Amino acid sequence: MRAAAVLAGGGLVALPTETVYGLGADATSGAAVASIYALKQRPQFNPLIAHVASLAAAQHEGVFNADALALAQAFWPGPLTLVVPVALKGSVSDLARAGLDSIGLRVPAHPAALAILEAFGKPVAAPSANRSGRISPTTADHVARDLGSGVGLIVDGGPCEIGVESTIVACLDGPPVILRPGGVSRADIERVLGKQIGEPAAEQAENAVLAPGMLPSHYAPRAKVRMNAVAVKPGEAVLDFHGRIGDDDDNAIAYLDLSSGGSLMEAAANLFAFLHRLDASGATTIAVAPVPQEGLGEAINDRLTRAAAPREG
């Protein structure tokens, strides 16, 4: 299947679902996911929904409690996304999850989408196939007019049956909550669960992005983050870009370069994984080199600025 081959090669595929057309990439590849952000323009590193072919495939990526399992069995395949804790052996990249320890999963109902997922055999990250801020696409023509040749392949599956995005329900600590209304009604969800379902707490809505459609989050490593560093101080770990700081062995506890060649796409793909690795080094501060404020650099700097923000306590 051509779509599976494009995905396997790191390319982008616009695929039809019953909700809207998705801009799909290999969710296990940070580089492939970074290309989604690049093509959609002015991106925020919000978590992306990982689409899989079955509940069994979803359970390889996330941990399902009784509520999540009941909802998956009732509504999958279908327009419901479940946000659950990430599984220890999950394969979805840090960038697709926006560095969170939770993951959004969905099994779409469209036969073309399911066929692509089954042929590819891995999770596919697929936000709506449109430029950021524009109207969500419900036909292949919408995708072609908005994204054009930036997509490796557009699979024409006809008009989307539902035409609005999936309902997103978080099944994490505490009772399940609706993070975004969509193709499955609250009443149907409550009927399956046998109880009322809540909204995210105010402090959660203000400070956490668990799924698309929510407000930006703070990605906070344990170490402090020092932005726009031009030199390393003793005891710091270094998150460099294009060799701007350099590897000072006498001072740096650990050193990683987001992209020695200056590629913002490579830097985006490496961002969360590298922060995790430097945070694990034992350094109390991570010195971050300046990153250009253009293209994907805007999103990279957004996440780094949030990581550097003062924290309560």
Tell me which of 26 and 133 has the higher pLDDT: 26
pLDDT on residue 281: 94
Q: Which pLDDT value is given to residue 268? A: 83
The β-bridge relationship of strands 237-240 and 167-170 is unpaired
pLDDT at 254 over 80: yes
Facing residues of 125 across strands?
25, 50
pLDDT at position 128: 92
Residue 86, beta-bridge partner list? 62
The pLDDT of residue 214: 43
User: Residue 127: left if φ>0, alpha if ψ -120 to 50, beta else—which one?
Assistant: beta
Average pLDDT value for residue range 280-293: 94
Cβ atoms 24, 126 nearer than 8 A = yes
**Is the bond leading into 77 cis (omega within 30 degrees of zero)?**
yes
Chain-centroid distance of CA 280 in Å reads: 22
Quick count: other Cβ atoms within 10 Å of Cβ 88? 6
DSSP E strand stretches across the chain: 13-15, 22-26, 50-51, 80-85, 102-106, 124-125, 153-154, 167-170, 177-180, 224-226, 237-240, 254-257, 285-288
CB 79 within 8 A of CB 166: yes
Q: Look up the pTM and report it.
A: 0.81
Q: Give the tens place of pLDDT for each residue, 52-100.
A: 999 999 999 999 999 999 999 999 999 999 999 999 999 999 999 988 8
Phi and psi angles of residue 65, each rounded to the nearest 5 degrees, phi first: -85, -175
In terms of phi and psi (left: phi > 0; alpha: psi -120 to 50; beta: otherwise), the region of 163 is left
| pLDDT for res 42 | 63
